[in-house]
Amino acid sequence: MLRDAVRALAEAKIAPHAAAVDEEARFPREALTALTANDLHAVHVPEEYGGAGADALATVIVIEEVARVCASSSLIPAVNKLGSLPVILSGSEELKKKYMSPLAKGEGMFSYCLSEPDAGSDAAGMKTRAVRDGDFWVLNGVKRWITNAGESEYYTVMAVTDPDKRSKGISAFVVEKSDEGVSFGAPEKKLGIKGSPTREVYLDNVRIPADRMIGEEGTGFATAMKTLDHTRITIAAQALGIAQGALDYAKGYVKERKQFGKPIADFQGIQFMLADMAMKIEAARQLTYAAAAKSERVAAGGGEGDLTFQGAAAKCFASDVAMEVTTDAVQLLGGYGYTRDYPVERMMRDAKITQIYEGTNQVQRIVMARNLP
C-alpha cells in the first residue's frame, strides 16, 4: 500500500517536473511541496515528535519510489534522515524536541556537514574548529559537498573540539541557517542530481548555545559513523529506484521500437540484457531491504550485529548495479538513449553519484573487509 501510494504521488506530482529540474538545475520545489503535503518528506521522524514514525524499510521504499522518477527529489527524504539521524541517535531529549518537530511539520529540512576540502574519505582529518566560550561554542571552517545546502534550515556539523585526539576530538553540533556567520558557496555544476543543490557551507565565527552540541564532547565522529551505517542504506534505495526507473522505461521502449519488421524486444540479445538488468536489480533490492531490516533492529536496541557490513554492502552493490543498469538502458534505446529527449541518459548521470557519496565504493569495500560477518 505504501509503495502504491508513493508511486502514484511520484508519477503524478514529481515525474512531470523531473526533466525541467535537471535541465534548469533547480531545486525540485514541486516535489518538496507534494512530499510535505503527504507527510513523506521525513517519514523517519518518530511519532512522539509529530513524525510519521516510519521504520527503516518503509523509509527505503519511499526513497526508492521517488528516485524511480527523479533522483534529485529522492534526496529530500534521504538527506532529511541523514542530517537529523545524529540528533535522533545521540542528541538530548530537549534537542530532539526542538529540531525533530519542525522537521516533521515540514518547516525546515536537515543537511549533514562532514566532508571538507581536505577531508573526504579521511573525514577524521577535518579542520573545522569549535572553541568553547562560556555557555557557547564558536565554530570556524568550511564544509564541502553539502547536499541541499542553502535550502535546509538545519545542519548537523562535525567540528574539532580537541585537535590532539583526532577522531575522538570531534564533536557534533546543530547549526541553523539563520545563525550569524553562516553562508554558502555557489552551487556546484554537476554531472547529475542537478536539482539537489550541492554547495560549500562557510562557518565564520558562528556562535551557538552549548546545548546545541549533539551528545557528549568528543563523540561526534562516532555518531557520524553510526549515522552512516544506517543512512548508506538510503543511498542503496536511491540507486535501486534509479535502476528500476531505467529498466521500466527501457522495457516499454523495446516493445515499441521496431527493426527488421518486428519489435526489438523479440530478439534474444535484447531479452538477455533485460533479464540481467532485472536479476541484478532484484538482488540489490533484497540486499537493501535486508540491510534496512537490520538497521531497524539495531535502532530498536538489538545490538550492532553486522549492520556496518550490511549497510556498506547494500550501498556498494546497489550503486554498482544502478550504474550498470542505466548504462544498459541507454544502450537499449540506441541513439535516442543518448539524447535528453528521453529520461535514461539523466538516470545514467544521476546513478554515478551513488557510487561516490556517503563513502566511495572503494571505501565501502574497506569497510566491508574490516567488518566481515
Domains of the chain: which residue ranges?
2-105, 110-218, 221-370
Q: Confirm whether 151 is a catalytic residue.
A: no
* Catalytically annotated residue among 200, 296, 345, 358: 358
110-218 has CATH 3.40.50.2000 classification = no
Q: What is the mean pLDDT of each run of 10 residues along the chain (373 residues)?
A: 98 98 98 98 98 98 98 98 98 98 98 97 97 98 98 98 97 98 98 98 98 98 97 98 98 98 98 98 98 93 84 98 98 98 98 98 97 90
Q: Cα-flanking dihedrals φ and ψ of residue 127, to 5°?
A: -115, -15
Number of H helices and E strands in the chain, helices first, is: 11, 10
Q: Rounded to an integer, what distance in angstroms lies between the CA atom of residue 18 and that of residue 189?
A: 17
Which fold would CATH assign to domain 2-105?
A: Butyryl-Coa Dehydrogenase, subunit A; domain 1 (1.10.540)
In this prediction, residue 304 carries a pLDDT of: 65
List all residues 6 or more positions away from 37 whose beta carbon is below 8 Å from its beta carbon: none
Instruction: Measure Cα distances from 35 to 11, 42, 45, 74, 148 in Å.
Output: 12, 9, 14, 10, 16
Report the candidate in 116, 204, 99 with the shortest Cα–Cα distance to residue 152: 99
221-370 has CATH 1.10.287.130 classification = no
Report the candidate in 131, 134, 145, 144 with the shortest Cα–Cα distance to residue 173: 131
Q: Rounded to an integer, what distance in angstroms lies between the CA atom of residue 289 and that of residue 284?
A: 9
In this prediction, residue 302 carries a pLDDT of: 76
